[in-house]
Chain A
Amino acid sequence: MSSLWLHPAFLLLLGAALLPLVPERLRKGWLLWVPLLVFGRTCLLSPMVFGEVQFLDWTLTFGRVDKLSLVFGYILSLMAVLGTLYGLHVRRVGEHVAAWTYAGASLGAIYAGDFLTLFLFWELMALSSVFLIWYRGRPGSLGAGYRYLLVHLAGGVALLAGILLHYQATHSLAFDTLDVANPTLATYLVMAGFLLNAAVPPLHAWLPDAYGEATFSGSVFLCAFTTKTAVYALCRGLPGLDLLVPLGVIMALYGVVYAVLENDCRRLLAYHIISQVGYMVAAVGLGDPGTPLGELAINGACAHAFAHILYKGLLFMGCGTVLHQTGESRFTHLGGLYARMPWTFVFTLIGGLSISAFPLFSGFVSKSMIVAAGFESHQLWVGFGLMLASSGTFLHTGLKVPYFIWFGERHASPAVWERARDPGWNMTAAMVITSALCVFIGCYTPYLYERLPFPVDYHPYTSYHLSETMQVLLFTALGFFLFRRYLVPEPTISLDLDWFYRRGGRAFLWLAQWPIRRLDEWVGERYRRGGLVPLMGVVGWVAQFDRRVIDGVVDGLAGALGRLAGRVRSTQRGSVQENLTLALVGVVLLILGLVLVF
């Protein structure tokens, strides 16, 4: 139990709990040091099991440390440092508390050794991260937050149901690899819970809805933790589940299609999270345990998650800076900003080149492992499908985002233009460090490869791979410059599957307003006519009866009694002696009568 306090998740949660009590002049120091302490703690962890707690009949394991949880714990705690640094100047303490609780819960889920602990932290992630959306404070933020929360709670219920069925069948709560060769209802329910958090279509629409609406620094946290914790859970629980391969490829392409249509730069990035997580989901599907191909695939999923957390964080930092400085995130209200915020452009471009897997950038050494696993699985459509998505990734994140914000036609209003400038020191520092890491990972592969769960026998810098990648990317760039007038963003939003619950809510409201209210009115009218009106008639008749008959009888009796009393009164003269004598005679006669009878 004593070792539990050295758990990275608990350190961060404790830091979050104490943050409101820290005096304002010490707050920035606290914000810098606590995540660094947590990151230091994750760096010092070595494979072991700690923090086991007896709860009712079960042993809860808070600290299961192995190679898989180490790599995810390392990168997520590093992201907590960078995300906090980026939002250091944010004055709302609550927002920092929410972000740290969210990051702490994510670390808790990573190190959880049993399903119950996993579920606990899984739900805490949803409940804390929703505040990062609500703090935006726009009219639409409240609704977006509630939609996010409801969708995640539904996923949590599926996960819990799966856990309970799994426990019933196996009498074990240990969070290990499920039997994917013989999937049961429990497997599918757990899978549904994981897939919802990984934003796999058709369970994905919450992601762009929420991440496009969150605060500028909240999105930097959101883009890192939820989906990657889900990728970890998939790597742990369902490696080699065949269904994940087609789902992953569909996901990778789905995000690309919607990114073409998107006008909001942060929603575009959100669709590219779906696309990139698609690579990881497909890799988990290819990750049959115990085979060399499976190990390559799981290594690929982990490596890509690692690289993705950094470059997607960087991209959200770049676009978040544009939003923070100008108040605008729509391409149709930006453009030509390179002279105003050149460094933000450079950092965003580095993120764009990393996600596009340019040689010497992080995506190149991670994404290619998954594509290689796809080709080596002899399912050519997987390899080619993922290459097609790579082209789309560069088209949007590497070209469309920088071009239509910093170049292209200038649509910025004078106010936006005036406000646009490179950000303060902390935001710049966060982007510099993250950019440096993206390049470092791409140039020095052992930094990433030595952290992966299995030994790596993969070399990304071969002549063929370089030639292949450069051709795909640069000819995509050619396509962009030839077709860019077709790619000019339009001031629209795109309907996605959230339409069903957003409009579905309206259908419910309409149902309440029209048919149900009509029915209510109709029933009310029937009741009035069939119930109230006859009842009122009966009541009226009873009142008449009461007035005429009963009152008449009572009044008549009273009158008769009055008249009788008047007559009796005339026989009385008021003498006590006569009355006593008469009473006495009466009593004597009564007693005599009784004696004679008996």
Chain B
Amino acid sequence: MKLVRLIEGSRQRPKLLVRVGLGVLALLVVIDAVPMLVDKEHAHTAAERWPGFWAVFGFVSCALIVFLSKAFGHAGIMKREEYYDE
């Protein structure tokens, strides 16, 4: 099973994975900042012209969704699995 070996091979090098991942993230923001590469003429708001605006948007969105949803869930929405069977 080549596919399983490929997955296991990458799992055995967590540090490399993290470095590559962070490198890609940094590269994305850098590319976004170069007008030659990313043409922002069609951006809809001024904020979108800031380099890395969507990176911040994505990260903040993720954090908001995780923490607000969990807070909502723990405010009484999440119940035991047998809740409706009692």
A contact residues vs B (CB 8 Å cutoff): 140, 256-258, 260-261, 338-339, 342-343, 346, 375-376, 380, 383, 387-388, 391-392, 395, 462-464, 467-481, 483, 486-487, 490-495, 502
Q: Which chain A residues border B40 with CB–CB below 8 Å?
A: 464
B69, A492: Cβ atoms closer than 8 Å? no
B62, A492: Cβ atoms closer than 8 Å? no
A487, B66: Cβ atoms closer than 8 Å? yes
Chain A CB within 8 A of B44 CB: yes
A478, B59: Cβ atoms closer than 8 Å? yes
Of all chain A residues, the one with the shortest Cβ separation from B36 is: A463
B contact residues vs A (CB 8 Å cutoff): 1, 3-4, 7-8, 21, 24-25, 28-29, 31-32, 37-45, 48, 52-59, 61-70, 72-73, 76-81, 83-85
Q: How near does chain B come to A367, taking the closest CB pair, in angstroms? A: 15
Q: Measured between alpha carbons, how far is A494 from B73 in the docked complex, in Å?
A: 7
For this complex, 23 residue pairs linking A to B, each with C-beta atoms less than 8 Å apart, are: A257-B72, A338-B4, A376-B44, A462-B39, A464-B43, A467-B31, A468-B48, A468-B54, A471-B28, A471-B32, A471-B54, A471-B55, A471-B58, A472-B55, A473-B58, A475-B56, A475-B57, A478-B21, A478-B62, A481-B21, A493-B78, A494-B78, A495-B83
Q: How near does chain B come to A329, taking the closest CB pair, in angstroms? A: 12
Q: Which chain A residues border B1 with CB–CB below 8 Å?
A: 342
Q: How near does chain B come to A487, taking the closest CB pair, in angstroms? A: 6
Q: Which chain B residues border A343 with CB–CB below 8 Å?
A: 3
Total residue contacts A-B, CB cutoff 8 A: 148
B24, A474: Cβ atoms closer than 8 Å? yes
Q: Which chain A residues border B37 with CB–CB below 8 Å?
A: 463, 467
Q: Measured between alpha carbons, how far is A355 from B4 in the docked complex, in Å?
A: 25
Q: Measured between alpha carbons, how far is A122 from B45 in the docked complex, in Å?
A: 43
Q: Measured between alpha carbons, how far is A376 from B43 in the docked complex, in Å?
A: 10
A261, B78: Cβ atoms closer than 8 Å? yes
B70, A463: Cβ atoms closer than 8 Å? no
Q: Measured between alpha carbons, how far is A486 from B58 in the docked complex, in Å?
A: 18
A493, B66: Cβ atoms closer than 8 Å? no
A463, B61: Cβ atoms closer than 8 Å? no
B3, A464: Cβ atoms closer than 8 Å? no
B78, A490: Cβ atoms closer than 8 Å? yes
